[in-house]
Structure 1
Amino acid sequence: MGNGTVKLGIQYLRAYNFFYFSLLSIFISFLPVYLSYRDVTPAEIGMMVGFGSFIGILSQPFWGMVSDKHKTIKRIILLTLGASIAVGMLLFTSGQFTLLFLLVGAMYFFLLPTDPLTESLNYRVAEQHQISFGSVRTFGAIGYATASLFIGWTVDQLGMNRLSWQFLGYGMLAFLFALLVSDAPASSKKLSRQELKQFFFYPKTLRFFLLVLIAATPHRTNDSFLGVFVQSLGGSTGAVGQAWFLAAISEVAFFALSARILQKWSEIKLITWATALYTIRYALCALAPTAEWVVYLQLTQGVTFVIFYTATIQYLYRIIPEEWKATGQTVLAVLFFGISGIIGSIAGGWVFQQFGGGALYMAMAAFSLVACGYSLTLWRSQGAGVGKA
């Protein structure tokens, strides 16, 4: 394969990331706002997202194992992405509660598993061509940012009923570029059940997964209720879009810097700092007097989420068997988008409805503080020996 062809393939992958994460921003950022527009209460939103997260626990390992079995990531992405586009069009034109409930579950079955598959594709292609993961994933962050701002503005101007057509447009562009990207290199090594068992039951792995679960729960709660919280403080749909734009644009800068940061410090040290900053971020949101304060606090997303997420991916890929990497990525996604999503959405919806958004964000700060303490314990017990010194 010539150098020009390789470069073109990487550009296609970056374009796919841009439009896929634009599509994902509609679902994650604006689904709670859309449900609220359809008169769904915060507790019911939490129940729907919690149900979807439960579906994600089943669907993400399923699609990951299908990918590993057939030694392809691209074809599985095309399947899940195509189904997501069809289901999303139905979701964002529906208003009946039962139908919304079922369609949200279907989106978690198809769209959310596309995320870990995409991350696996990005990581493997970056590894194959010796480029940084961040140089590819940055384009996803740019897509998420620009789509959040654009969609928030257009919904304010044209109405919520145009959301389905925007979902279709971004979805078709993502599908087109997914067709053009090259498949990721697959391992030819036969899966060893003993290696898999050692991976899942090795104490270091179990401690790592527990840390991810604790830290991810308040993050996923923020995903579910940021838009509703901003609106509860008097913010418009455009302000919700601005909040997600600032969060995503801050990710761009830190994804660009992630390779240098990961070279300099150990993963466990970075996770400890990220969870400490998560604690401060959510506490400040809880104390924010206006929606504008919450919107601008989302600029801290880059230093919290990106540092946490890239450190966990690098650590995971360093300890997992080569032939089970796609499945290992989906296990991480099950914790990040599944179990933590269930806890954060259902419990968060109840707290929001009973005590208000400020109380919810203070509880999220407390949860992040627990994650920080646990991470610090692991850091000290390992002597900062995970990764670099």
Structure 2
Amino acid sequence: MGSLRQAIQASSAEDAAQAAAKPSSVAREVFMLRLFMYVIYTTQAIVVSYFPLYFLDRGYSAGQIGIIYSTGPFISIFANIIFGTASDKYRTIKKIMTLLMFGQLVMVSLLFTTDAFVIVCVIMLAFYFFQMPVNPLSDSLILLSSQFTSKPYALIRVFGSLGFAFSAFLVGQLLKWTGSAATIPLAICSIGLALLLSFTLKDYQGPKRKVDFVGFLKIIRQPSILTYFAIVLVVSIAHRMYEGFLVVTMRELGADDSLVGIAWMISAISEIPVLYLLGKYGHKFKELPLLAIASLMYALRFWLIGEISSPGWIIPIQAMHSITFGIYMVTALRYLSRIIPDEFRSSGQAVYAIVWSGIAGAISGTAGGAVYEHFGKTAFFHLATALALIASAAFWFKYYRNQDG
């Protein structure tokens, strides 16, 4: 969070040194960054796609899995602040990234020691404490590296999407033969590799900057911004409900682990062309109508999942990830950057991250898990559908009322 502000500029001395860097050094750094992104997103593919199945096979209920799932978004609110501030204060991303990988490795290893639900919750809470800040810090590292490598952010970050997609598929194929017991050893291997790779990264640095708490408070007090974040929260809860219980739903429908991997691979790959098109042509379209359309497509996606009875139908439904999350993610941040003054931009992004990852994830995991356990799949996804429809209508209302979309 706070570390993203490091990416704005590097010191003049570092710029001079970077400008004189050898092409071979630049090529090596680009390769290592891409490999590092691939590996950390491999870990995320395992955690998101297969940890729920691992806990399901350990005998946990949907409600218990929801509680475990909600610990990550909850702790992310504090973890991002702590490690982002530490990155700003000590002007290092590499060392903090190494610490995060070591912490993840220790916590995942502890899952071998117990099946007690309360203890597992504590372990996963600690694991997410070290895992959730990885994305914003890695984004900062890529942005800072561009001044040294001259490689755009997207050309390095896309390897993360590729890592998630292919790893989700390959891990699924492997678990089909080995069973879910291999999930934790695979996670240990991917985290261990990421830990080793973290030592090879160049530690780019930006200038020290204070966290703008005054700007933060000023942002959240503006009624128009509060309205926007409220709508974002509604659709975010629906998205997190879907994301958190997709694999549970697939297992309930009779899907094996390989089909789960294919489903996640399809969703990750589908967003790549949409992200490219929005990056090139998205500025030609109004943001609020695009957000309304994305929310409407979310509603259709959730309704279809709630109605199907065969796991095979989830594959084409997962391709809708491109016109739901793909559009929503880029457009929501673009609209945010337009309505918030530059001096409060970091604070606005911080609020967005807390709403999207923290609050929405905690609500969807706890309340959503209870709904799924007591009322079943259909009612669960119908609730997500209703939330997405409410968000779509709210985006349209905000657009027509203000005509500022």
TM over 0.5: yes
The answer (yes or no) to whether the contact 1:60–1:331 under 8 Å persists in 2 is no
The answer (yes or no) to whether the contact 1:22–1:143 under 8 Å persists in 2 is yes
Task: In structure 2, give the amino acid aligned to 1:310.
Answer: V
Residues 266 and 185 (structure 1), Cα distance of their counterparts in 2 relative to 1, 3 Å cut: farther
Q: Which residue of 2 aligns with 1:162?
A: 182
Deviations 1:164-211 (A, max 9, x none): 221122112323333333445524555554333323333343333223
Q: 1:20 aligns with which of 40, 65, 72?
A: 40
- Unmatched tracts of structure 1, length 5 or more: none
> Is the counterpart of residue 289 in structure 1 residue 332 in structure 2?
no
Q: Distance in 1 between matches of 2:141 and 2:308?
A: 39
Alignment of 1:218-367 (within 5 A): 218-316=238-336, 319=340, 325=346, 329-367=349-387
CA positional deviation for 1:38: 0.5
Deviations 1:306-326 (A, max 9, x none): 22112333444563756984x
Q: Distance in 2 between matches of 1:10 and 1:320?
A: 33
Query: Which of 190-199 and 54-63 deviates more?
Result: 190-199
Q: Which residue of 1 aligns with 2:167?
A: 147
> Is the counterpart of residue 108 in structure 1 residue 128 in structure 2?
yes
- Unmatched tracts of structure 2, length 5 or more: 1-17
Q: Distance in 2 between matches of 1:96 and 1:293?
A: 35
The answer (yes or no) to whether the contact 1:60–1:113 under 8 Å persists in 2 is yes
Task: In structure 1, give the amino acid aligned to 2:57.
Answer: Y
Residues 194 and 127 (structure 1), Cα distance of their counterparts in 2 relative to 1, 3 Å cut: farther
Residues 295 and 204 (structure 1), Cα distance of their counterparts in 2 relative to 1, 3 Å cut: same
The answer (yes or no) to whether the contact 1:21–1:144 under 8 Å persists in 2 is yes
**After TM superposition, which residue ranges in structure 1, 4 or more long, deviate above 6 angstroms?**
127-130
Task: Give me the CA root mean square deviation.
Answer: 2.7
CA positional deviation for 1:39: 0.1
Task: In structure 1, give the amino acid aligned to 2:154.
Answer: G
Residues 183 and 274 (structure 1), Cα distance of their counterparts in 2 relative to 1, 3 Å cut: farther
Residues 190 and 36 (structure 1), Cα distance of their counterparts in 2 relative to 1, 3 Å cut: closer
The answer (yes or no) to whether the contact 1:88–1:167 under 8 Å persists in 2 is yes
Q: How many residues of Structure 1 are paired with residues of Structure 2 in the alignment?
A: 384
Q: Distance in 1 between matches of 2:401 and 2:205?
A: 36
Query: Which of 345-354 and 129-138 deviates more?
Result: 129-138
Residues 347 and 76 (structure 1), Cα distance of their counterparts in 2 relative to 1, 3 Å cut: same
The answer (yes or no) to whether the contact 1:89–1:168 under 8 Å persists in 2 is yes
CA positional deviation for 1:217: 0.8
Q: Distance in 2 between matches of 1:315 and 1:183?
A: 32
Q: TM-score with structure 1 length normalisation?
A: 0.88
Per the alignment, in what secondary structure is the counterpart of residue 356 of structure 1?
helix
Per the alignment, in what secondary structure is the counterpart of residue 273 of structure 1?
helix
Query: Which of 334-343 and 111-120 deviates more?
Result: 111-120
Q: 2:53 aligns with which of 33, 49, 52?
A: 33
Q: Distance in 1 between matches of 2:152 and 2:335?
A: 15
CA positional deviation for 1:213: 1.4
Residues 127 and 374 (structure 1), Cα distance of their counterparts in 2 relative to 1, 3 Å cut: farther
The answer (yes or no) to whether the contact 1:117–1:330 under 8 Å persists in 2 is no
